[in-house]
């Protein structure tokens, strides 16, 4: 395996410096929801399944009808109309019947900005956004596009409680993160999983009106209601909310179909003692601007582990044990799909995203030793490394951690600071791959750190998301905390990937 990988602290890219300037100017407090929207709407419109020619718009209403989306280029937001194929599907939020609407708008041009309005099909005159402006989004570039772009990465969020706030009132740190994302210039956001605490129910996801403990932690007015209108969401499943609600709320049908991935409930036999049954399965890939993204399913539900032991890692890793048996044996459907897809896309920058962390210095959410390069020549990390994947983003541990690549491995990040209660790092020591990590303990009221990081002074410095800018073969990763502060900024310069066979002909480059 040979690749050229140069790393610099900070950013030399003009686009990245502009992004940092914008962050510094952003207020860190929460934003209001949707003043002026029609009361008929219970969930603000949000975007998923972005491609170069389509996007899906979803929202919820008090009454059942056939949803309608008006869309067009800026200045002509009502030029075209797409209508849902089906009536809104019933959902129950905190005991109240509502209706989830979803419309895919198609026939769009690549790398182009559009705006839209949502309407109730019962009366096309009812514009549900009311006096709110028309949200805008931008379609993906073609695979060989060269325009610089920015995307965000976030995980482990959708929680109405943290920092001892257990009454269901505003989770200020999560609200600040969502506010910063709403004001960012990201074209889309990729989740690293665990969305909607504690169980990913429709009540946990909530709406614009319901309040309470574990209610409206996603679609509440101060959370995803605003950023979701214009920033399409690429979803990754985690152990929380490991159910069909996840698939319904974050539809990615077109993207999964185009990459021949899987985004559906699937039957699994009994694995390492876990009960047989139907479980959600989500893996797919997409390309834009010279980058290939692999959004993988490395997860399993906490309540479905049966007799799995977690091996040498112990009970904390029982879910890792079953996930490996279900998804990452060489005979598993996902492993075989990933191997084929990687081989079919040999060039460009490749980035992989999934939930369980390759490397983690958190005591209760430790490293997944079933997936890392040291676990064998057919491990997930080694498969990625051998096929030119340059960066990995994981979640599960509620902290921030940047890991350098081992031999046969890949640079990876843990970004589990989107809103669920953050956790300490280094309780059992700091690993050799851990270049920079920060965490927080509520029991001691103190921050913790590994590598070159300083201890954080508050939990708000641990809650975070990642802003990632791609400019040619340079990728800049900028973590941004709930105070709007950038930290541990790194720019990676990726040269052309050459497989191991090419090393013998051309000689080694700088190792990754």
Nearest to 440 by CA among 488, 484, 481: 481
User: Is 489 in the same domain as 382?
Assistant: yes
Q: Model confidence at 26, in pLDDT bands (50, 70, 90)? A: very low
**Distance between CA 164 and CA 459 in Å, rounded?**
11
Q: Helix (H, G, I), strand (E, B), or coil: what is residue 315? A: helix
Residues 134 and 150 both lie in one domain:
no
What is the value of pTM for the model shown?
0.92
CATH of the domain at 433: 3.60.21.10
DSSP character at residue 133: P
| 379 located within any domain | yes
What does the pLDDT read at residue 452?
A: 98
Q: Do 124 and 245 fall within a single domain?
A: no
Give the pLDDT confidence of 123-142 residue by residue, as tens digits: 667 899 999 999 999 999 99
The residue that leads in pLDDT, 25 or 132, is: 132
Residues 6+ apart with CB under 8 A from 112: 73, 138, 139
Tell me, yes or no, whether 463 and 408 share the same domain: yes
What is the domain extent for residue 109? 41-138
CATH number at residue 75: 2.60.40.10
Same domain, 261 and 386: yes
The verdict on residue 217 lying in a domain is no
Could you tell me if residue 263 is inside a domain? yes
Going by C-alpha positions, the residue among 224, 324, 209, 248 that lies closest to residue 49 is 248
> 443 and 420 in one domain?
yes
Please tell me the distance from the alpha carbon of residue 252 to that of residue 185, in angstroms, as a whole number.
22
Domain assignment of residue 335, yes or no: yes
**Structure confidence by residue, pLDDT tens digits, 225-241:** 999 999 999 999 999 99
In a domain, 210, yes or no: no
pLDDT at res. 315: 85
Does a structural domain hold residue 85? yes
Q: Do residues 314 and 347 both lie within one domain?
A: yes
Same domain for 378 and 465:
yes
Question: Residues 10, 116: one domain?
Answer: no
What confidence score (pLDDT) does residue 306 get? 86
Same-domain status, 114 and 162: no
Supply the pLDDT for residue 91. Answer: 98
Based on the number of CB atoms within 10 Å of its own CB, is 402 exposed (0-12), middle (13-18) or buried (19 or more)?
buried
* 415 and 298 co-located in one domain: yes
pLDDT band at 502 (very low <50, low <70, confident <90, very high): very low
**pLDDT (0 to 100) of residue 506:** 33
* Integer Cα distance of 169 and 167 in angstroms: 6
* pLDDT at res. 331: 97
Query: Do 389 and 370 meet the contact criterion of CB atoms below 8 Å apart?
Result: no
Q: Are 321 and 375 in contact (CB under 8 A)?
A: no
Single residue among 99, 114, 138 that ends a domain in this structure: 138
DSSP 198-264: TT--HHHH--SS--STTSSTTTSTTTTTTGGGTS-EE----STT-SHHHHHHS--HHHHHHTT-EEE
- The 8-class DSSP code of residue 454 comes to P
pLDDT tops 70 at residue 440: yes
Task: Please report which confidence band the pLDDT of residue 307 belongs to, taking 50, 70 and 90 as the band edges.
Answer: confident
Instruction: Please tell me the number of Cα atoms within 13 Å of 389 on its side-chain side.
Output: 28
Using CA atoms of 217, 247, 348, 476 in order, give the dihedral in degrees to the nearest 10.
0
Output the pLDDT for position 508: 33
Mean pLDDT of the chain: 90
**Residue 435 confidence (pLDDT):** 98
**Domain membership flag for residue 411:** yes
The count of domains in the chain is 2
pLDDT band at 19 (very low <50, low <70, confident <90, very high): very low
**For 240-260, what is the mean pLDDT?**
97
Q: How far is CA 56 from CA 116, 232, 432, 489, 512, in A?
A: 11, 9, 43, 33, 37
* Confidence check: pLDDT of 402 > 80: yes
Same domain, 171 and 56: no
């Amino acid at each position: 395996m040979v690749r050229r990988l140069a790393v610099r602290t900070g950013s030399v890219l003009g686009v990245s410096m502009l992004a940092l300037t914008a962050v510094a100017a952003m207020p860190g407090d929460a934003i209001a929801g949707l003043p002026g929207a029609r009361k008929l709407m219970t969930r603000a419109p949000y975007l998923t399944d972005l491609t170069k020619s389509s996007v899906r718009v979803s929202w919820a209403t008090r009454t059942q009808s056939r949803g309608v989306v008006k869309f067009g280029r800026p200045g002509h937001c009502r030029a075209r109309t797409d209508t849902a194929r089906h009536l809104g599907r019933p959902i129950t939020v905190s005991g109240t019947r509502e209706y989830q609407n979803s419309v895919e708008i198609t026939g769009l041009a690549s790398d182009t900005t559009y705006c839209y309005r949502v309407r109730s099909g019962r009366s096309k005159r009812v514009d549900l956004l009311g006096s709110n402006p028309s949200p805008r989004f931008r379609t993906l570039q073609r695979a060989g596009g060269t325009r610089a772009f920015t995307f965000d990465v976030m995980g482990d969020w959708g929680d109405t409680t943290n920092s001892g706030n257990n009454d269901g009132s505003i989770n200020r740190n999560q609200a600040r993160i969502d506010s910063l994302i709403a004001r960012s210039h990201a074209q889309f956001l990729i989740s690293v999983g665990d969305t909607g605490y504690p169980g990913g129910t429709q009540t946990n996801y909530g709406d614009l009106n319901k309040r309470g403990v574990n209610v409206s932690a996603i679609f509440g007015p101060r959370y995803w209601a605003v950023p979701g209108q214009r920033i399409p969401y690429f979803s990754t499943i985690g152990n929380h909310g490991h159910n069909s609600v996840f698939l319904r709320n974050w539809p990615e049908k077109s993207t999964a179909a185009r990459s021949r991935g899987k985004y559906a409930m699937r039957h699994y036999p009994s694995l390492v003692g876990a009960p047989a049954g139907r479980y959600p399965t989500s893996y797919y890939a997409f390309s834009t601007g010279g980058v290939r993204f692999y959004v993988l399913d490395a997860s399993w539900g906490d309540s479905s582990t049966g007799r799995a032991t977690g091996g040498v890692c112990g009970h904390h890793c029982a879910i890792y044990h079953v996930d490996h048996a279900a998804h990452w044996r060489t005979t598993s459907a996902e492993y075989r799909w990933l191997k084929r897809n990687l081989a079919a896309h040999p060039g460009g920058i490749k980035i992989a995203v999934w939930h369980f962390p390759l490397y983690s210095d958190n005591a209760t959410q430790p490293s997944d030793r079933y997936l890392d390069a040291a676990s064998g020549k057919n491990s997930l990390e080694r498969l990625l490394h051998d096929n030119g994947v340059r960066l990995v983003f994981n979640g599960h541990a509620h902290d921030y951690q940047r890991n350098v690549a081992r031999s046969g491995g890949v640079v990876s990040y843990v970004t589990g600071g989107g809103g669920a209660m953050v956790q300490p790092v280094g309780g059992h020591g700091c690993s050799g791959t851990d270049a920079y990590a920060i965490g927080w303990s509520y029991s001691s009221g103190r921050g913790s750190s590994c590598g070159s990081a300083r201890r954080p002074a508050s939990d708000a410095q641990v809650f975070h998301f990642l802003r990632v800018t791609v400019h040619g073969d340079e990728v800049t990763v900028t973590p941004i905390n709930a105070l709007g502060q950038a930290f541990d900024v790194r720019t990676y310069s990726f040269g052309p990937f050459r497989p191991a066979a090419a090393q013998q002909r051309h000689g080694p480059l700088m190792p990754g």
